[in-house]
A and B are shown apart, each in its own frame.
Chain A
Amino acid sequence: MTFSHEMTGDRDGLPGRDQCPPDVDLHRVWLGVAAEVWCRRPGPVERLAGRALRSPGLARALVTTPSLLLGWIIASAVVLAAGALATLGTGAPFVAVFAPAVAAAGIAYAYGPGIDPAWELSQSMAVSYRMVLLVRVLAVFALNAALGLVASAASATAAAVTFGWLVPMTAVSALALAAATLTRSATIGAAAGLAAWLITVLSVHSAAGQLIPAVASSVLVAPYLAVAAACAAIAWFATRIPRGTP
């Protein structure tokens, strides 16, 4: 039954109706065929994500929305590859210095009304947009960690460097996320994350005379984690549905 059938009430106006036994609901049969043909069959990643997240909607949001498409994945891979090459050439873990900024930009640009075309619609859905966002964050971290492991392995400092920079990456990304959610601007979020990381690296450089302690010093792990927790709380607060205010 289509627009025109709705209009005329002509439920039998489908091609071939006259060649069909009267007890066959051709419209229903067609809908069954269309349902089989039109809908997307979830791939293995989506099925796995659906089971892990207990939500087919979240899984679909994770694997299909544009913010997780090739653009930033390629950007991450390119920057990390460049960092790995620099590390191989100099023996210093430059991957770690670059990676947090990449993650910050990735997170910030995975969010916001200017980034998600269906932002308005997504806010009226039962699956909360905050959850979609958090799932995307998880995806960014997971992918960067995987790429980092591969890149770091090439420089023979795999585990230490990866764990070393995953923590600051979490902090900077959380800051970008918090700024993006508070300002509803992915650009401001990205700028905040990149600026914060630049300040951190330069501060460490001026104090220690080199860049590497920003990601290698165990003293900084606790502050990074504290910043990450605070920013995650801010992001959570900013993306809640607020009650009406007079």
Chain B
Amino acid sequence: MNVEISDVTRRFGRNQAVAGVSLETGPGVFGLLGPNGAGKTTMLRMLATVIPPSSGRMRLLGRDPDGYGPRREIRRRLGYLPQNLGYFPGFTVAEFVEYFALLKEMPPGRVPQAVAAAVERVDLGSRARAKLRTLSGGMLRRAGIAQAIVNEPELLLLDEPTAGLDPEQRVAFRALLRGLGERATVVVSTHLVEDVGAACGEVALMDAGKIVFQGTPDELTARGEGTGAAGDAPLERGYSAVLAAARSARAAA
């Protein structure tokens, strides 16, 4: 298992963003669904070792991120696309990807080839020498994806990766995800149900800091059958039904 977390919580002052989540997942594409404020981004930031959990246990790529040495090793094998990708406007696309390849401690001799491959994979080859400040939002998102995959990560964490991508790019990106998921664990946080249906083998639905559903997209779809839940597509109806049930249970408790 590349991700093993047990009863993990994360508090920010009095606000509990993640409340006792347990999760295990191996290679494949894992979707993290949920409404705004459900705790998805906090969950991903903990998996990216950006913030530690307030309590609970985590093992990533078979290592405990609490220790400096294991954490460094995890980070070498990690790819992370934050929700708000910060970038240096004066960098070119290639320089941006190369910068993070070096910070991931890739062997310097391998970096140029890896950068070229990553930039090509996100279809930014024609803009590789363009300054980031000249790119559109969708292109910046793809540059962010390129830096995340440049080190061929074993654990890839993507927070709203399709935000800003046009429909054609989103379809292509899902194909890229499926390819990456063949040998790596890819965790995709999104509120777009169709991304999950098209690319993920397994999905967890978060609400109010808890996982309220975990299973395959088909199983989530089945939860919506015959419930009259809102949604244009079967998976959306499953999503709505699970969320409604979770909220009812919470209100009753």
A contact set with B: CB distance below 8 Å: 1-4, 6-7, 30-32, 34-40, 55-57, 60-61, 64-66, 69, 116-128, 241-246
Q: A64-B88, A120-B86, A124-B78 are in contact. List 4 more A-B contacts (CB 8 A).
A: A2-B125, A4-B172, A39-B116, A246-B54
**Interface contact tally, CB-CB below 8 A:** 148
Interface residues contributed by chain B, number (CB under 8 Å):
61
Residues of A within 8 A of B76 (CB): 126
Interface hits, B37-64 → A, CB 8 Å: 45, 48-50, 52-56
- A124 near B49 with CB under 8 A, answer yes
- Our pick among A38, A119, A127, A245 for the contact of B119 (Cβ within 8 Å) is A38
- A34 near B125 with CB under 8 A, answer yes
Stretch with Cβ within 8 A of A (4 or more), from B25-33, B173-181, B230-238, B241-249:
B173-181
Given A39-B115, A66-B90, A117-B87, also A7-B95 (CB < 8 A): no
Given A121-B100, A122-B103, A124-B48, also A3-B94 (CB < 8 A): no
Most chain A beta-carbon contacts within 10 A, residue among B45, B75, B122, B147: B75
**How many whole Å from A57's CB to the nearest CB in chain B?**
4
- B85 near A121 with CB under 8 A, answer yes
Q: How far, in whole Å, are A57 and B111 apart by their CA atoms in the complex?
A: 11
Interface 1/0 per residue, B207-234 and A, CB below 8 Å? 0000000000000000000000000000
Q: How far, in whole Å, are A61 and B105 apart by their CA atoms in the complex?
A: 12
- A66 near B88 with CB under 8 A, answer yes
Residues of A within 8 A of B173 (CB): 3
- List 13 contacting pairs A-B, 8 Å CB cutoff, sorted by A: A6-B176, A7-B172, A31-B117, A35-B112, A39-B116, A60-B98, A61-B103, A64-B99, A65-B88, A117-B88, A119-B86, A121-B80, A241-B52
Most chain A beta-carbon contacts within 10 A, residue among B66, B105, B112: B112
Q: Considering only CB atoms, which chain A residue lies closest to B51 in the complex?
A: A123
Does any Cβ of A come within 8 Å of B128's Cβ? yes
Residues of B within 8 A of A245 (CB): 54-55
Q: How far, in whole Å, are A36 and B169 apart by their CA atoms in the complex?
A: 27
Given A40-B98, A246-B55, also A127-B103 (CB < 8 A): yes
Q: How far, in whole Å, are A245 and B66 apart by their CA atoms in the complex?
A: 12
Residues of B within 8 A of A4 (CB): 123, 172
- B171 near A7 with CB under 8 A, answer yes
Residues of A within 8 A of B111 (CB): 39
Q: Considering only CB atoms, which chain B residue lies closest to A40 in the complex?
A: B95
Interface hits, B64-82 → A, CB 8 Å: 66, 68, 71-73, 75-76, 78, 80, 82
- Our pick among A2, A39, A120 for the contact of B50 (Cβ within 8 Å) is A120
**How many whole Å from A120's CB to the nearest CB in chain B?**
4
Does any Cβ of A come within 8 Å of B108's Cβ? yes
Does any Cβ of A come within 8 Å of B120's Cβ? yes
**How many whole Å from B248's CB to the nearest CB in chain A?**
30
- Our pick among B50, B53, B175 for the contact of A123 (Cβ within 8 Å) is B50
- B113 near A121 with CB under 8 A, answer no
Interface hits, B117-158 → A, CB 8 Å: 117, 119-123, 125, 128-129, 142, 147
Q: Considering only CB atoms, which chain B residue lies closest to A245 in the complex?
A: B54
Q: Considering only CB atoms, which chain B residue lies closest to A246 in the complex?
A: B55
- B120 near A244 with CB under 8 A, answer no
Q: How far, in whole Å, are A61 and B112 apart by their CA atoms in the complex?
A: 17
- A64 near B85 with CB under 8 A, answer no
Given A4-B172, A39-B98, also A125-B86 (CB < 8 A): no
